[in-house]
Amino acid sequence: MTDRPLTLMAVHAHPDDEATGTGGVLARYAAEGIRTVLVTCTDGGCGDGPGGVKPGDPGHDSAAVALMRRQELEASCDVLKVSDLEMLDYADSGMMGWPSNDAPDSFWQTPVQEGAARLAELMRHYRPDVVVTYDENGFYGHPDHIQAHRITMAALEMTALAPKVYWTTMPRSGMQRFGEIMREFHEDMPEPDPAEAAAMAEIGLPDDEISTWVDTTAFSGQKFDALAAHASQGENIFFLKMGKERFGELMGMETFVRVQDATGAAVPENDLFAGLR
């Protein structure tokens, strides 16, 4: 036994990702006395600027956007009671296919071993019992999410640590419900073309392939407020349009796939720390 607190480390790509995919578990486990460490890999500079100005448009200043988004990220962490925030500060790569993918200082262009070495140092410092990041497709194909996955898995190989490791996911049943609610809020939303619909159908996993279902309903208000802290990106955060009550109904369960475990805890499980306490 040790006096070191149980520790959760979440590795995310951009400011606001922490709230979308893991805001519930960060808030829940902080409330349970677990140390919560958030590693944000990029500066978010490819996000919207003041007034909604888009990357590539006149007046978009990626450095100013990055500063604004750091302040929003710190506010989100305050809401979620995150114990420790670490920023790797790589340049945001933008969406797949954007010219910013090719910028030499972008996260996407960073050698995996370089990013992994920096993350491994943080892992050795914090010694997480649970590590959460994205799957190999970054959940939906964003280059920075894919890179976050790559450096996380490489960093784990560089350390002598053996935490439980999880990838974020969504149940296909939940994705279907999400689509219905989007149409409810956007009645004029056109039907996606067949290729787009097929791609959407592949996001997430069949319900029976999900190992871990964590009920965070009691913390959905904090999760909503954490998302709202990223006000500059509000146009892109659909969830904020539905209000707290509907948000809690849709986003009160966070789901994961367990990919590394030395505890032998049975699955499906309802706690990332099953077998550790």
Rounded to whole angstroms, the Cα distance separating 275 from 133 reads 20
pLDDT value at residue 184: 65
pLDDT value at residue 45: 95
pLDDT value at residue 1: 46
Looking at per-residue pLDDT, the higher value among 221 and 240 belongs to 221
Looking at per-residue pLDDT, the higher value among 274 and 249 belongs to 274
pLDDT, average across residues 110-116: 98
As a whole-number percent, the residues of the chain with pLDDT over 70 amount to: 88
- As to burial, measured by CB atoms within 10 angstroms (0-12 exposed, 13-18 middle, 19+ buried), residue 252 is middle
Predicted model pTM: 0.90
pLDDT value at residue 193: 64
In 3D space, the residue among 175, 173, 171, 178 whose CA is nearest the CA of residue 205 turns out to be: 171
In the predicted structure, residue 239 carries a pLDDT above the cut 90 = no
As a whole-number percent, the residues of the chain with pLDDT over 90 amount to: 70
Lowest mean pLDDT among 71-75, 113-117, 235-239: 235-239
pLDDT value at residue 157: 97
In the predicted structure, residue 236 carries a pLDDT above the cut 70 = no
Q: How far is CA 84 from CA 17, 115, 125, 246, 251, in A?
A: 16, 19, 12, 30, 24
What's the CA angle centered on 149, arms 44 and 91, to 5 degrees?
25
pLDDT, average across residues 57-74: 95
Bridge partners, residue 7, by sequence: 35
Lowest mean pLDDT among 33-47, 113-127, 173-187, 241-255: 173-187
Rounded to whole angstroms, the Cα distance separating 63 from 201 reads 36
Rounded to whole angstroms, the Cα distance separating 216 from 171 reads 15
Neighbouring residues of 5: CB distance < 8 A, sequence distance ≥ 6 = 33, 34, 35
pLDDT value at residue 189: 55
Tens of pLDDT, residue by residue over 3-57, are 789 999 999 999 999 998 899 999 999 999 999 999 999 999 999 998 889 988 8
Q: Band of the pLDDT at 259, cuts 50, 70, 90?
A: very high
Looking at every residue in the chain, the average pLDDT score rounds to 90
Quote the tokens at residue 44: 């978010």
Tens of pLDDT, residue by residue over 129-185, are 999 999 999 888 899 999 999 999 999 999 989 999 999 998 877 766 666 666 666
